[in-house]
Amino acid sequence: MLALGKLLELTLAGHEPAAKIQLTAEGARLRWLAEGALEVTPPGSDDSGLDLLLSAGVHGNETAPIELLDRLLQGIARGTLKPRARILFLLGNPEAMRRGERYIEQDINRLFNGRHELSSGFEALRAGELERLSAAFFSKPQRSRLHYDLHTAIRGSKIEQFALYPWREGCIHSRLELARLQAAGIAAVLLQSKGSITFSSYTYAQLNAEAFTLELGKARPFGQNQQVNLDRLEARLQCLIEGREPQVEAGALEGLQLFSVAREVIKHSDAFTLHLPADIENFSELPVGYLLAEDIAGTRWTVEEEGARIIFPNPKVKNGLRAAILVVPASADSVA
């Protein structure tokens, strides 16, 4: 196997490879760009026209997606997976990965779309580097652009594998992309309705890529992900890489659950209180009238929406950041 196929091993060891470029027997080029960043270019005659960005480890303790990318890259380096797409593999937060922590100083996935320029420290610098690497990768004209940012969640979920579809001014969410996600094993999609500061929101809004944050189960240490079944996603990614993706039908999206954001709960102060059990699962339903949270100056969040569910509740976020999202069922009529 080519040495550059061991990107995860190199990253966890903090080593820079001696050879920055290697070729597979079929002529695909592997090029090391920076720590945790490797670009794969197929032979020109085999290029499918797809630019595929696969990122994981933006939160360093979310290891199942990191292991998935490692398997894909090793398959390319061994010659068992023959790429026809250009691919950028990104391991988002190498130092947090080495420590087995979600982050070191601050959450990288709240530092995109210019937010890192207002901050300092390791994660802010890394967010800027990830933006530059992504922008350079997606700079070629007249090519399809797709970004999957792979995560696992802090807590359990009543819907284990789901996606967040970012928002961009004047752009309608794609029914075809939703069907592609469904074929990859994604059971639900949250259709966002305003801009955000996450990695996938940056590539969607600024780089015109179809981009998604994928939540794929619960976060566990390396080697302990047997309960996270990524078989359908891995098979679909292999098909995308090799340019043999089965045709997807962008029809009624039967069985795919769609949600929209009703409200975001923003933590304003250290007095913030979230009235939820510590072990509540994502997509738990909340009744109308439920007092969800309180903060300074008599601020109260009470559930007003029928069928409301909670996702990403986290009262420990920094002041000014989102502490939870209330979502409600959405119709497929809102996608094109």
Q: Which residue has the tokens 């009529």?
A: 333
**Looking at the domain assignment, is residue 29 inside a domain?**
yes
Catalytic residue check, 305: no
> Vertex 231, ends 215 and 241: CA angle to 5°?
90
Q: What are phi and psi of 33, to 5 degrees?
A: -105, -40
pTM for this structure? 0.94
pLDDT in tens, 277-287: 999 999 999 99
**Pair 258, 329: CB distance under 8 Å:** yes
Q: State the pLDDT at residue 85.
A: 98
The range of the structural domain enclosing residue 43 comes to 3-242
Which of 95, 131, 160, 215 is the catalytic position?
215
pLDDT in tens, 14-31: 999 999 999 999 999 999
Dihedral sign from CA coordinates of 152, 90, 110, 99: positive
Q: State the pLDDT at residue 335.
A: 81
pLDDT at 240 > cutoff 80? yes
Same domain for 44 and 111, yes or no, is: yes
Same domain for 167 and 94, yes or no, is: yes
Same domain for 172 and 286, yes or no, is: no
**Looking at the domain assignment, is residue 248 inside a domain?**
no
Q: What is the spatial distance between Cα 135 and Cα 144, in angstroms, rounded to a whole number?
A: 14
Closest CA to 32 of 57, 67, 61, 7: 7
**Looking at the domain assignment, is residue 174 inside a domain?**
yes
Same domain for 169 and 203, yes or no, is: yes
pLDDT at 221 > cutoff 90? no
pLDDT in tens, 153-171: 888 899 999 999 999 998 8
Q: Which of 177, 211, 242 is the last residue of a domain?
A: 242
Same domain for 323 and 182, yes or no, is: no
Same domain for 64 and 133, yes or no, is: yes
**Looking at the domain assignment, is residue 253 inside a domain?**
no
Closest CA to 8 of 79, 67, 82: 67
pLDDT in tens, 66-87: 999 999 999 999 999 999 999 9
Closest CA to 314 of 271, 263, 262, 267: 267
pLDDT in tens, 190-200: 999 888 999 99
Residue 62 assigned as binding residue = yes
Residue 59 assigned as binding residue = yes
**Looking at the domain assignment, is residue 12 inside a domain?**
yes
Same domain for 152 and 31, yes or no, is: yes
Which tokens belong to 243?
């340019």
Q: What is the spatial distance between Cα 130 and Cα 153, in angstroms, rounded to a whole number?
A: 21
pLDDT at 267 > cutoff 80? yes
pLDDT at 334 > cutoff 80? no
CATH of the domain at 136: 3.40.630.10
Determine the angle formed by the axes of helices 122-137 and 199-207, rounding to 10 degrees: 40
Q: What is the spatial distance between Cα 97 and Cα 33, in angstroms, rounded to a whole number?
A: 18
CATH of the domain at 294: 2.40.50.630
Q: State the pLDDT at residue 111.
A: 96
Q: State the pLDDT at residue 155.
A: 87
**Looking at the domain assignment, is residue 249 inside a domain?**
no
Q: State the pLDDT at residue 119.
A: 86
Same domain for 321 and 187, yes or no, is: no
Same domain for 151 and 288, yes or no, is: no
Same domain for 43 and 190, yes or no, is: yes
Q: Which of 190, 211, 242 is the last residue of a domain?
A: 242
Which tokens belong to 98?
């080495």
Number of domains in the chain: 2
**Looking at the domain assignment, is residue 252 inside a domain?**
no
Averaged over 323-336, what is the pLDDT? 87
Average model confidence (pLDDT) for the chain?
A: 94
Q: Which of 209, 242, 275 is the last residue of a domain?
A: 242
Same domain for 188 and 287, yes or no, is: no
Residue 151 assigned as binding residue = yes
Same domain for 189 and 281, yes or no, is: no
H helical segments located in the chain: 7-13, 63-78, 94-99, 122-137, 175-183, 199-207, 231-242
**Looking at the domain assignment, is residue 257 inside a domain?**
no
